[in-house]
């Protein structure tokens, strides 16, 4: 997997700046009468060039967290200075943006961040999230990223403060790698194998094959994968970092490795993007990796249903009726509405075998979600206001877009079946809501639950705040923040 930058934290040494090669990033406040000691040293070395830049009209128009580059600064060996507008006592979101501004410019050259006047953790998180490239499928991936160092007055304290940020960045990078990987490389079996490797991090990992799922009655999930040569899998990842008797949070991810639509086949245009239909499973995996890396004091179980939806002589057909693990029968109107069939069984398994304190599912579930919210926000559906509010606060705190959508029994009539207990689609009207209503049928009355429809945010065509175009890793930060705020033991 691609790993985030792993900075070296070094003691502040103004005298070493003159000979430092590569790029040097520093933070300045144009409203301050006096800059920090390291910035003052840079200004002297450049014979006042830094101050002239800070005093310029262009720099004054920068938003907090934005940067400009001063190429070939006189009096220094560095090839460029990255000068970031950063007010004193900047909020965490501004500090993350400052890190992003630096990360965008990180290349194969050494990078030194002068961190004497900024909280290092959010800066390093922003830098690590943005300095990402998926090169696993390239014959020539190009030069390796240059080393990164953070110069600060207390390197040991900075290193400790940034440990969790780097664990989070690793989880996000893992998620992005999974979503970006092509379906002939990342299959149900290779995905499960990668998750099994996380036992080395302290996770308990259990893999259920088709025979085990059939014995459990998981007919809805198994029906989706019937047309594929890739066998379906259910992977259960347990992190036990909290009290032994505390009920865990269950996080369930849809893992459709490739979605042709099945017999209800999709149009060919854009079908190549359906390698990302396992985005919910990827976020779940990235979250579990981050929790294990930072040794979270919480009990969390991640469950991912891994299938491939292909047309074949054995594939399920429109009009088929399948029986879920819960026992409900489902009329399959459209085989391209397969993710909810997978999640129905994964969620029921979680409640029957994990007994969670709360449950969250993630899925690239509906194109209707993109029509509703575009690529800026994920849809949030919930049966518990307190849990929903806590998640929305967490998403807001880390800068990941999310918006609450309605659930209402009035929509159930749209998915009422003539021949079975329920049908898997209700037509074009309120498509994301009826999908959520379908999933709610597989949530027990006493289980607080959130459904996250991430169809619009998992993979995008343009750069986002934290990522280059492609897989975003949306959700790892928000779910980690929710775990911290609501499920992690304090003290």
Active-site positions read 266, 340
Could you give the C-alpha distances from 128 to 69, 96, 105, 168, 286, in angstroms and in order? 19, 10, 12, 9, 15
């Amino acid at each position: 997997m691609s790993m985030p930058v792993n900075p070296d934290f070094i003691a502040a040494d103004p005298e070493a700046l003159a000979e430092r090669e590569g790029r040097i990033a520093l933070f300045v406040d144009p409203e301050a009468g006096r800059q920090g000691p390291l910035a003052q040293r840079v200004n002297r070395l450049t014979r006042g060039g830094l101050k002239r830049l800070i005093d310029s009209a262009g720099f004054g128009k920068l938003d907090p967290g934005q940067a400009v580059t001063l190429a070939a600064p006189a009096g220094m060996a560095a090839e460029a200075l990255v000068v970031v507008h950063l007010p004193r006592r900047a909020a965490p979101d501004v500090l993350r943006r400052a890190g992003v501004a630096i990360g965008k410019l990180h290349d194969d050259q050494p990078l030194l961040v002068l961190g004497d006047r900024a909280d290092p953790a959010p800066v390093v998180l922003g830098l690590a999230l943005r300095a990402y490239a998926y090169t696993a499928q390239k014959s020539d991936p190009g030069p390796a990223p240059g080393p990164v160092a953070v110069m600060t007055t207390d390197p040991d304290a900075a290193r400790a403060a940034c440990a969790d940020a780097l664990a989070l960045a690793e989880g996000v990078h893992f998620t992005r790698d999974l979503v970006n990987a092509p379906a002939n490389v990342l299959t149900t079996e290779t995905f499960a194998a990668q998750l099994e490797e996380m036992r080395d991090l302290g996770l308990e990992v259990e893999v259920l094959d088709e025979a085990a799922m059939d014995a459990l009655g998981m007919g809805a999930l198994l029906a989706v994968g019937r047309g594929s040569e890739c066998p379906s899998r259910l992977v259960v990842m347990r992190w036990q970092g909290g009290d032994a008797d505390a009920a865990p949070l269950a996080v369930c991810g849809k893992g459709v490795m490739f979605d042709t639509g099945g017999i209800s086949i999709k149009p060919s245009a854009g079908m190549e993007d359906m390698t990302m239909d396992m985005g919910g499973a990827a976020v779940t995996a990235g979250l579990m990796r981050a929790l294990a890396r930072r040794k979270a004091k919480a009990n969390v179980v991640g469950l991912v249903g891994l299938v491939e939806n292909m047309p074949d002589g054995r594939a399920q057909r429109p009009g088929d009726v399948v029986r879920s693990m819960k026992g409900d029968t489902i009329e399959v109107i459209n085989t391209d509405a397969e993710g909810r069939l997978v999640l129905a069984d994964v969620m029921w398994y979680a409640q029957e075998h994990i007994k969670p304190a709360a449950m969250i599912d993630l899925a690239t579930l509906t194109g209707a979600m993109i029509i509703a919210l575009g690529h800026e926000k994920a849809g949030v559906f919930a049966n518990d206001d307190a849990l929903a509010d806590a998640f929305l606060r967490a998403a807001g705190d880390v800068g990941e877009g999310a918006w609450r959508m309605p659930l209402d029994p009035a929509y159930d009539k749209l998915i009422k079946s003539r021949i079975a207990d329920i049908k898997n689609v209700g037509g074009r009207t309120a498509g994301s809501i009826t999908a959520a209503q379908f999933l709610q049928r597989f949530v027990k009355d006493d289980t607080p639950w959130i459904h996250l429809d991430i169809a619009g945010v998992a993979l995008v065509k343009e750069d986002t705040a934290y990522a280059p175009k492609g897989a975003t890793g949306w959700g790892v930060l928000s779910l980690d923040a929710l775990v911290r705020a609501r499920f992690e033991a304090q003290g």
